[in-house]
Amino acid sequence: MTSSDFADVIVVGDGLIGLACARATAARGLSTCLIGRRRPGLASAAAAGFLAPTIDPAKGSALSFMLEARARYRSFIEELRAVSGHDLPFALDGILRLPATEREARAMAASGDKMSRWLSPAEVAELEPALDAPFGARFHAEDGMVDNQRLLRLLDEAIALGHIPRIEGDVRRVETAGSLAAVELEDGGRLRCRHLVLAGGAWQPLLSGLPRPIPVLPLRGQMMSLTGTPVMRPVFGFGGYVIPRPADRQVIVGSTSEAVRYTLGTTDAALNGFREVAARMVPALARADEVRTWSGLRPMTYDGLPILGPDPSHPAILYACGHSRNGILLAPLTGDVIASLAAGDAPAHDISPFSISRFPASASVMA
């Protein structure tokens, strides 16, 4: 910060999105202050780590942005490695999608989807011998995964190594005053800035003083980890997924999508379901031990796309929230976009599908 109570950029929210934004704005030479207090249910730590823009893909320029986000990951991981000296489990060598029945297999095999291809049972067995895929599978060859928990730790470290000022605490209220913005902290302190980046995840709508309601809702996802890494690639099937965490010799199994407001926790029904899904896809997992169970809150918008860009009436406010099911994928590119906007440059990508203007200004927030 140039003085103790003013910064070019203040970022509210310390998940992957906030961290990526703070790093990118500081890298542009903008004085940056990151403010956040991690809450239980933080999505960035709870997530599975799919980098999967071609699974349930968006359309048009939103899809192009998601594909760019996937492409940006390699250089992002390289940058973090250069700063910290640490490697991160990350791969873009494909995701498999298994049909549950022969009928579903026929439909999947006939799909005209150009971003994936159909594999025979023998081809699946060659790629992933531990999978039970009697009908074959759809292969999304360019998608992949990252260990989001390690990524979060690495970004924390990068923020510290970059000497980016960081306040661990709650922002109670935001204000807009002329062309500037300000935040009020829980201890009553007040900081002003040229650009205020809102990256508060599922808790973003709860912040008071916002120029308009933010149509983001928490959507709980339950998760479980099991011992062993019988598969090298993530696999979807039977209403769930398995994703390897090779560095921990574990797999993660998930997930649910539950509108239960801010309630965290797991249920026996969901965990038993995960066990069934895992064992049907990878029989060896039927005997695996449970390591941990947890849940997290996805910051969902109605259309599943993020809210990214300036507030139409208060351009000092930059939205970087509502990343829904793709916030891990989108974090690096979101940082780039926010840094361009805060520096006064046009973003290199079309962000019009992500404008907050796509929602009615009076959209009620049911959180």
Ligand X SMILES: Cc1cc2nc3c(=O)[nH]c(=O)nc-3n(C[C@H](O)[C@H](O)[C@H](O)COP(=O)(O)OP(=O)(O)OC[C@H]3O[C@@H](n4cnc5c(N)ncnc54)[C@H](O)[C@@H]3O)c2cc1C
Nearer of residues 98 and 196 to ligand X, judged by Cβ? 196
**CA gap 159, 149 in Å, rounded:** 16
User: Any residues with CB less than 8 A from the CB of 149 and at least 6 apart, and which?
Assistant: 45
Asked if 150 interacts with ligand X (CB under 6 A), we say no
Looking at 33, 171, 197, 356, which residue binds ligand X (CB under 6 A)?
Answer: 171
Asked if 37 interacts with ligand X (CB under 6 A), we say yes
In what helix (H) or strand (E) does residue 269 lie, and over which residues does it extend?
A: helix 268-281
Binding mask 187-206 toward ligand X (x if CB under 6 A, else -) reads ------------xxxxx---
Q: Are strands 95-97 and 235-237 parallel, antiparallel or unpaired?
A: parallel
**Would you state the structure tokens that stand for residue 18, as one six-digit string?**
């906030």
**CA gap 187, 189 in Å, rounded:** 6
DSSP conformational letter for 348? S
Reduce the DSSP state of residue 274 to 3 states and report it: helix
Nearer of residues 46 and 105 to ligand X, judged by Cβ? 46
Asked if 353 interacts with ligand X (CB under 6 A), we say no
C-alpha distances out from residue 166 to 23, 254, 312, Å:
11, 33, 28
**Would you state the structure tokens that stand for residue 38, as one six-digit string?**
């991690």
Reduce the DSSP state of residue 17 to 3 states and report it: helix
Asked if 155 interacts with ligand X (CB under 6 A), we say no
Least Å distance, CB 101 to ligand X, is 25
Asked if 32 interacts with ligand X (CB under 6 A), we say no
Least Å distance, CB 69 to ligand X, is 9
DSSP conformational letter for 346? P
Binding mask 128-147 toward ligand X (x if CB under 6 A, else -) reads --------------------
Asked if 325 interacts with ligand X (CB under 6 A), we say yes
Asked if 349 interacts with ligand X (CB under 6 A), we say no
Q: Phi and psi for 214 in degrees, rounded to 5?
A: -105, 115
* Angle subtended at Cα 8 by Cα 214 and Cα 305, rounded to the nearest 5 degrees: 30
Nearer of residues 136 and 221 to ligand X, judged by Cβ? 221
Binding to ligand X (CB under 6 A): which residues in 216-255? 221, 223, 254-255
Least Å distance, CB 18 to ligand X, is 5
Looking at 42, 66, 151, 288, which residue binds ligand X (CB under 6 A)?
Answer: 42
Strands of the chain (E only): list them: 6-12, 32-36, 50-51, 90-91, 95-97, 117-119, 137-140, 144-146, 166-168, 171-177, 180-185, 190-198, 217-227, 235-237, 240-245, 250-254, 290-300, 307-310, 317-321
**Would you state the structure tokens that stand for residue 356, as one six-digit string?**
């907050």
Q: Which one of 33-41, 93-101, 105-113, 133-141 is the stretch in contact with ligand X (CB under 6 A)? A: 33-41
Nearer of residues 15 and 237 to ligand X, judged by Cβ? 15
Looking at 11, 16, 191, 307, which residue binds ligand X (CB under 6 A)?
Answer: 16
Binding mask 264-303 toward ligand X (x if CB under 6 A, else -) reads --------------------------------xxxx----
Residues contributing to the site for ligand X (CB under 6 A): 12-18, 35-39, 42-44, 46-50, 170-171, 199-203, 207, 221, 223, 254-255, 296-299, 321, 323-329
